[in-house]
Structure 1
Amino acid sequence: MIKTNDRIPAGTLTALGEVGMQQFNPAELFAKGTHVLFAVPGAFTPTCSEKHLPSFVKHANDLRAQGVQTIACVAVNDAFVMKAWGKALNVDDSVMLLADGDASYHQQLGLIKETGSFGGTRAERYAMVITDGVITHLFVEDEKTYGVSSAEHVLEALQG
């Protein structure tokens, strides 16, 4: 599993933008400056929709005040689902919604869980702070918990 002080690896994440499908390489996207990447097990699921994503939308300005340039949410869903989820929750451009459609990026990170017939391979629930391409903070939730990957906890960590 990836850990603090590791470089964020290269890979491919997608998003459906105004001009169609876009691909992003996390190693390039997060190469300079300070960024937050957080993962949810699935779009439209209760904790992800009611708590996790909304916490980052609510605290986006607070995180930016701490020097965070990009706040990105990723899930093992396709880019169409991620866009629809963002629209359903009225997510503005303060949070990027990225898709890891085949879970390959999360397999590379070692941050996956198997949910069997419920939903197959999913991302673990986590948040990480990346500064100049290096993971400086990594908060991975225990099974079926929510707390350390919240925007509030990330903000506390950044405030020292």
Structure 2
Amino acid sequence: MKAWGKTLDPSGSSGIRFLGDPSLAFTKALDLSFDGASIFGGDRSKRYALLIEDGAVKEAHVESDNTGLNVSAADKVL
């Protein structure tokens, strides 16, 4: 995530925070994980983007197929 953030927002001025969740703790708390054992070897995060303002989730963009880019891509969210 750090490298992705540096590439997409090198100056850090966009206001976008790039966060990882390697243990899936946050993802599971939001019920946004799925059983990907047959493909990925274990639980995985659904593909999603959250719009958060002042610490509150204002919008959740969750891919219905778990991995696509139909609603969670930056051009759909911003």
Q: Tell me the TM-score normalized by structure 1.
A: 0.38
Partner of 2:70: 147
CA distance in 2, matches of 1:145, 1:101: 20
Larger RCO: 1 or 2 (CA < 8 Å, sep 6+)? 1
Matches within 5 A, 1:13-92: 57=8, 60=9, 64=14, 69-72=15-18, 74=19
Structure 2 counterpart of 1:122, from 31, 41, 44: 44
Higher strand proportion, which one? 1
Q: What is the percent sequence identity of the aligned residues?
A: 27
Structure 1 consecutive aligned stretches of length 4 or more whose deviation exceeds 4 Å: none
Gapped regions of structure 2 (runs ≥ 5): none
**What do you get for the CA RMSD once the two structures are aligned?**
2.8
Is the aligned partner of 1:101 residue 2:22?
yes
CA distance in 2, matches of 1:71, 1:124: 18
Q: CA deviation at 1:140?
A: 0.3
CA distance in 2, matches of 1:153, 1:114: 26
Q: Tell me the TM-score normalized by structure 2.
A: 0.72
CA distance in 1, matches of 2:60, 2:23: 22
Q: CA deviation at 1:121?
A: 0.5
**How many residue pairs align between the two structures?**
71
Higher helix proportion, which one? 1
